[in-house]
């Protein structure tokens, strides 16, 4: 059975004071014995703050990106081993904002997933099609191609990842995929993962893209949706906890 998981992706938001309030609010409001796991992926400078605020709680934390290289002359980059030192559990790799704004290729995303595993953390591998790709009928082939690129690099270790389906057109637009559409894509991804064995078929499959307290329940009720990757709504304690509990 895939684990149920709701992850907040803060993106490039936050400051020390607001983060303190948000992290304390989550810690106070999330039951220690919850059946679902929640996590927050914060900007690099705040990893220490998440670690300090959440250590010993039922909430895990992680980063939003990582270098594909282990160390060396890569000015401005952050290695997986550095992130791991802050007790991180997850690293988001291949978010569509990284792919489209920073030119990350399938091969780079795959290498980043590998670097994350190598450092003992779990990559949250993001896949998703643009609106034009969906309109042209290529939506499913795009997400499968993105997934296959990662599998071709890390092989059976795909079973140690989390996969997030985030249709690009649903991110930050208020236009979430319908539960039917999201489930259909998740089913395709699940089938593809199963080809790599039972454990791979059981990875947690998250949906992301305009998830709010109001639509989370219908999305999470779908057979192959094991939780969510939440952007904007993860910056509000009550909204994020409501989604996590949906």
The residues annotated with a catalytic role in the active site are 95, 166
What mask of x and - would describe binding to ligand 13P in positions 92 to 131, judged by CB under 6 A?
A: ---x------------------------------------
The correct pick among 106, 129, 133, 166 for binding ligand 13P (CB under 6 A) is: 166
Question: Which range binds ligand 13P by CB under 6 A, 68-76, 104-112, 138-146, 227-235?
Answer: 227-235
Helices (H), 7-155: 16-29, 47-54, 80-84, 96-101, 106-118, 131-135, 139-154
CB crowding 32-53: b at 16 or more within 10 Å, else e: eeeebbbbbbbbeebbebbeeb
The correct pick among 2, 4, 6, 9 for binding ligand 13P (CB under 6 A) is: 9
The correct pick among 31, 45, 155, 172 for binding ligand 13P (CB under 6 A) is: 172
Q: Which two tokens stand for residue 221?
A: 């009720």
Question: Which range binds ligand 13P by CB under 6 A, 26-34, 67-75, 137-145, 231-239?
Answer: 231-239
Distance CA 34, CA 43 (A): 26
Q: Which two tokens stand for residue 189?
A: 């991804």
The correct pick among 115, 121, 162, 230 for binding ligand 13P (CB under 6 A) is: 230
Asked whether the CA dihedral 220, 155, 108, 136 is positive or negative, the reply is negative
Distance CA 138, CA 87 (A): 39
Q: Give the footprint of ligand 13P on residues 60-79 (CB under 6 A).
A: none
**Per CB under 6 A, 42 contacts ligand 13P:** no
């Amino acid at each position: 059975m895939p684990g149920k998981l709701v992850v907040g992706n803060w993106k490039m938001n936050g400051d020390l004071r607001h983060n303190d309030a948000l992290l304390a609010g989550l810690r106070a409001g999330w039951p220690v014995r919850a059946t679902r796991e929640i996590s927050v992926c914060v900007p690099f400078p705040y990893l220490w703050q998440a670690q300090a605020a959440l250590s010993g709680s039922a909430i895990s934390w992680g980063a939003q990106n990582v270098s594909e290289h282990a160390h060396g002359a890569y000015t401005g980059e952050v290695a997986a081993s550095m992130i791991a030192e802050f007790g991180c559990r997850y690293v988001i790799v291949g978010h569509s904002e990284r792919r489209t704004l920073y030119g990350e290729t399938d091969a780079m995303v795959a290498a980043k997933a590998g670097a994350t595993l190598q450092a003992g953390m779990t990559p949250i591998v993001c896949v998703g099609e643009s609106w034009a790709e969906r309109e042209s009928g290529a939506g499913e082939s795009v997400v499968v191609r993105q997934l296959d690129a990662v599998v071709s690099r890390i092989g059976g270790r795909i079973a140690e990842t989390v996969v997030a389906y985030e249709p690009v057109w649903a991110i930050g637009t208020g236009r979430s995929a319908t539960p039917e559409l999201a489930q259909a894509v998740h089913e395709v991804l699940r089938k593809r993962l199963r080809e790599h064995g039972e454990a791979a078929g059981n990875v947690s499959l998250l949906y992301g893209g305009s998830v709010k307290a109001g639509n989370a329940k219908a999305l999470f009720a779908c057979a192959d949706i094991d939780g969510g990757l939440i952007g904007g709504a993860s910056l509000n304690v009550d909204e994020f906890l409501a989604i996590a509990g949906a």
